[in-house]
């Protein structure tokens, strides 16, 4: 399951900064009640991931509007390309098919980029298909990219530029 989530996030990723430089911003994204909190480096110190599970009744996002306001106070800008609300899709890539309910958010700062995904999973065995998950386990994955790293910046430049074009943060 972790690999599937990583693949989903890699597809949406852009660039972000070192944990030391953005510690306050990243800590803000770990909400009260978070369980199984993990902090990982993904192939380069310039790419970090935080993941955790939190009990939240659907459709309450872990990263609430209040947290988004705090991010803005720290200089983060919300990318206009963020989808409003939750989407769901069938995931047949793993060993057991399932429905994924997902909300994705992206944020940009001068030398950083964040991708946040909040997800619920519903096993495919649940029939008939429902319009919302039947559980409260929300999986949160945060990808943080340090844009001062040339290799990382090159890898995710398309998404970062698209985001910056919508925020005015160049």
Q: Are 1 and 138 in contact (CB under 8 A)?
A: no
Question: Token pair of 157, please?
Answer: 């430049």
Read off the pLDDT of residues 74-108 as tens digits, 9 standing for 90 and up: 999 988 766 678 998 889 898 988 999 999 999 99
Q: DSSP of 69-91, one letter per residue?
A: HHHHHTT-EE-TTPPSS-EEEEE
pTM (2 d.p.): 0.81
Read off the pLDDT of residues 30-43 as tens digits, 9 standing for 90 and up: 999 999 999 999 98
Q: Which residue has the tokens 């996002």?
A: 61
Range of the domain at 75: 2-167
Number of domains composing the chain: 1
Neighbours of 52 (CB within 10 A): 20
- Phi, psi for 17 (deg, rounded to 5): -105, 170
51 sits in which H/E element: strand 47-55
């Amino acid at each position: 399951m972790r690999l599937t989530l990583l693949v989903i996030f890699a597809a949406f990723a852009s660039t972000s900064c070192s944990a030391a430089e953005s510690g306050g911003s990243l800590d803000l994204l770990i909400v009260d009640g978070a369980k199984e909190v993990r902090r990982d480096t993904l192939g380069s110190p310039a790419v970090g991931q935080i993941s955790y599970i939190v009990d939240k009744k659907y459709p309450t996002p872990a990263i609430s509007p209040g947290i988004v306001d705090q991010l803005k106070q720290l200089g983060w800008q919300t990318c206009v390309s963020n989808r409003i609300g939750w989407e769901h899709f069938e995931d047949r890539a793993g060993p057991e098919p399932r429905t994924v309910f997902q909300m994705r958010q992206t944020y940009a700062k001068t030398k950083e980029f964040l991708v946040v995904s909040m997800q619920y999973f519903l096993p495919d065995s649940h029939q008939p298909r429902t319009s919302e998950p039947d559980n409260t386990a929300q999986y949160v994955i945060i990808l943080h990219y340090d844009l001062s790293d040339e290799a990382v910046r090159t890898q995710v430049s398309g998404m970062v530029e698209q985001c910056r074009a919508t925020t005015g943060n160049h």
